[in-house]
Amino acid sequence: MKVVVIGDALVKSETLIEAVKEMAFAKDQALDIAVYEWHSELSKDEFQEHILAIERGGPEAVEIPEGILADLPEADYLFCHYAPISKAMLEAGKKLKLIGTCRGGIENVHVETVRELKLPFLHVIRNAEPVADFTVGLMYAETRNIARAHAAIKNGKWEKSFANDPYKTILPNLTVGIVGVGYIGKQVIERLNGLKVPVIVYDPFVDQQRVQSEGLLVEFVSDLAELFQQADIISLHMRVTEETKEMVNQHYLKLMKPGSYLINTARADLVCKDDLIKVLAEKKIAGAALDVSWTEPITADDPLLKLDNVTLTPHIAGDTIDAIPRSPFLLKKVVNDYLAKGYSDMEVR
Query: What is the tens place of the pLDDT at every residue in 145-179?
Result: 999 999 999 999 999 999 999 999 999 999 999 99
Asked if residue 144 has pLDDT above 90, the reply is yes
Question: Is there a contact between 124 and 104 (Cβ–Cβ < 8 Å)?
Answer: yes
Provide DSSP, 223-266: SHHHHHHH-SEEEE-----TTTTT-BSHHHHTTS-TT-EEEE-S
Q: How far apart are the first and last CA of the chain?
A: 25
> Per DSSP, what are the bridge partners of residue 235?
178, 263
As a whole number of angstroms, the distance between CA 261 and CA 106 comes to 33
Amino acid at 10: L
pLDDT > 70: percent of the chain: 100
Strand, coil or helix: 201: strand
Q: What are the DSSP calls for 91-140, one per residue?
A: HH-TT--EEEESSS--TTB-HHHHHHTT--EEE--TTHHHHHHHHHHHHH
What count of other Cβ atoms lies within 10 Å of the Cβ of residue 187? 20
What are the φ and ψ backbone dihedral angles of 178, each rounded to 5 degrees? Answer: -100, 125
pLDDT tens digits along 23-57: 999 998 899 999 999 999 999 889 989 998 998 89
- The type of residue at 261 is Y
- pLDDT tens per residue, range 278-302: 999 999 999 999 999 999 889 999 9
* Domains detected in the chain: 2-126+324-341 (3.40.50.720), 128-312 (3.40.50.720)
pLDDT at residue 321 tops 90? no
Q: Which residues are catalytic?
A: 267, 296, 315
Other Cβ atoms less than 10 A from the Cβ of 150: the count is: 12
Residue 188: pLDDT over 90: yes
**pLDDT confidence tier of residue 318, bands split at 50, 70 and 90:** confident
Residues 65-120: pLDDT tens digits? Answer: 999 999 999 999 999 999 999 999 999 999 999 999 999 778 999 999 999 999 99
pLDDT at 319: 84
